[in-house]
Amino acid sequence: MLAEMEAAKLEAAAPLCGQRRWRQQLGRMYTSRQLMDECKTFFFTGHETTWLLLTWTFMLLASNPTWQHRARQEALLFLHQHGDMPDFDMLSRLKVLGMILLESLRLYTPATLLAREAFSSIKVGDLEIPKGLSVWVPVLAIHHDKTIWGEDADEFKPERFSEGVAKACKNQMAFMPFSFGPRNCVGQNFAMMEAKIVLCMLLSQFTFHLSPSYRHAPICILTLQPKHGVPIILRHFRP
């Protein structure tokens, strides 16, 4: 009975978690602790990191009217074709919004550090990593590394993701806003879906402009936050 319940839950979660991850998890039983941990991840992803992603994205769009216009045109066409109730597959076709969100995640990665623990002693190049050692990955620094992303690494250029993450830089593993590999963030697809829906709704109704009072001061307090907020002036969009 418990196995059937778990399979049913995973079946229902397939659109959110992604088909590959869903198939991996379907044959594996979760403990109560693991289920609670995954739920906590979803709650965390659905709140702080997602609102930070949207906050920085609004700032970038308000600062780059050309990309804001392109995103709005895509959102208007999308809503005209699919209405107000898009599903995951429909949202995945929003290429311009996807590029903008990926570039926002690169420039202003909400989770700036990743922690991992070595379960066994290993050697990486000349570096010895003993069992039990905690390894912290400086994600934000990697996302701004000019040897990986080029001399324009600090610039807002969504077009670098026009052919996906794999061709955006010299090493696709250098892009890890949701971590990388089989232990990446379980809420990754949910967060991107949520962000696209919010952007579609707001872009179709408003134009965004940075307030003259805006002071650019990113600060890391566990997550990367705007120290003084991001005051945005909204104006009703008139086609």
Token pair 């077009």 in the structure block, residue: 159
Binding-site residue ranges:
185
Token digits of residue 152: 């324009």
Residue 234, strand partner residues: 208
- The answer to whether the beta carbons of residues 97 and 158 sit under 8 Å apart is no
Question: Which residue numbers are catalytic?
Answer: 49, 178, 185
Q: Which long-range contacts (CB under 8 A, 24 or more apart) does 223-229 make?
A: 223/48, 223/49, 223/52, 223/110, 223/111, 223/112, 224/52, 224/56, 224/108, 224/109, 224/110, 224/112, 224/140, 225/52, 226/55, 226/56, 226/59
- The answer to whether the beta carbons of residues 143 and 113 sit under 8 Å apart is no
> What DSSP state is assigned to residue 160?
G
Residues 34, 47, 96: CA angle, nearest 5 degrees: 110
User: 3-state class of 73 per DSSP?
Assistant: helix
Binding-site residue ranges for heme:
185
Q: Which residues contact 52 (CB under 8 A, 6 or more apart)?
A: 108, 110, 223, 224, 225
Q: Which residues contact 56 (CB under 8 A, 6 or more apart)?
A: 104, 107, 108, 224, 226, 230
